[in-house]
Amino acid sequence: MNNILPWQQKNWEQLQQQLNLQRVPHALLLHGPEGTGKGLFASIFAQRLLCTTPQEDGFSCGSCPSCKLFAAATHPDLISLKPDEGKSILAVDQVREMVREFAFTPQISARKVVILQPAESMNNSAANSLLKTLEEPPGEAVLMLISHAPARLLPTIRSRCQQRAFPSPDRTQSLQWLQQKLEQGMSEEAVLQLAEGAPLKALALANPEQIQHHQQMGEELINLLSGRADPIRVAIRWSDKKLDPSITLEWLQQWTTQIIKGDTQSPLLNSLASKLQPVDHKQLFLFYDKLTAAIALSHTPVNKELLFEGILLDWSRFR
Ligand SMILES: [Zn+2]
């Protein structure tokens, strides 16, 4: 089915030509900035590769048994590999298990397909377990690695894949696309800025309450670090029923990660990072782990206010 994003047309056509010539690369590395749709692209291509009655326009049919299993996320010939929830590293056992499973003949489709993302989540031993499979995939199998940071991959991984660049769409393209997707009255400019230019990320953030909450959260976190806000009061606001507690915690975790990495280009992260400068990185890692636990708890019937209070009191101690 045709859901290819407008800025990915060229990449799609190129693969389509290779498919027509029966020369699809066995190992593909799709790389480019996060939030621009590489995962979506890989998924559409995987469905096409698995579909048993593809349409003439080059897309999957959407109705064959393979497409139905694909839609239900239970396709036996598709292996999706990513780090376990809350983890940033892909365990070597996950890769080994995939390699084993991958060697079996496909059950429904003409080939097996693997989507592994993000490829930079593999440590050296995981990457090494993958090398041989990348070199000689069984049958018509296709492995797609997705990476937001290809420079962090082992050169031996990169060199065994055909690389495809997925640059960010230009601003005009992103704004046009967002305009079609957003509800009336929302500013595509504002959400695109919130998502630092990545349109899919922008869409995920795009609802007026979330945008307002996101901005307010930033201010509150800064104010807590300068003693101008009260963690208890902030916790009460954050536990407001209209806000999804896991999104709030995930945002905070995302910011913590960026601060640890020194990736602090936006004005908000910049001010947070400068206030947190005297704080030991070890403490930030501990805080990150607490957030992981809190995110898991936020899906249970836990008292949200108390959950946020704990996190915000910890945050205030960074003062
Ligand atoms: Zn199909």
Q: How far apart are CA 49 and CA 53, in angstroms?
A: 10
Q: How far apart are the CA of 167 and the centre of ligand 1, in A?
A: 29
Q: How far apart are the CA of 296 and the centre of ligand 1, in A?
A: 36
Q: How far apart are the CA of 5 and the centre of ligand 1, in A?
A: 20
| Phi/psi of residue 115, nearest 5 degrees | -120, 120
Q: How far apart are CA 192 and CA 175, in angstroms?
A: 8
Provide the CATH number for the domain formed by 6-165 in this structure. Answer: 3.40.50.300
Domain residue ranges of the chain, discontinuous segments joined by +: 6-165, 207-316
pTM: 0.68
Q: How far apart are CA 34 and CA 248, in angstroms?
A: 20
Task: Answer with the residue of higher pLDDT: 1 or 238.
Answer: 238
At 235-273, the pLDDT tens digits run 999 998 777 788 899 889 988 998 998 888 778 889 999
Q: What are the tokens at 311?
A: 């996190």
pLDDT at 183 over 90: no
Q: How far apart are the CA of 81 and the centre of ligand 1, in A?
A: 22
pLDDT confidence of 1, banded at 50, 70, 90? low
Q: Does domain 207-316 have CATH number 1.20.272?
A: yes
User: Which residue matches tokens 């997925």?
Assistant: 166
Q: How far apart are the CA of 87 and the centre of ligand 1, in A?
A: 33
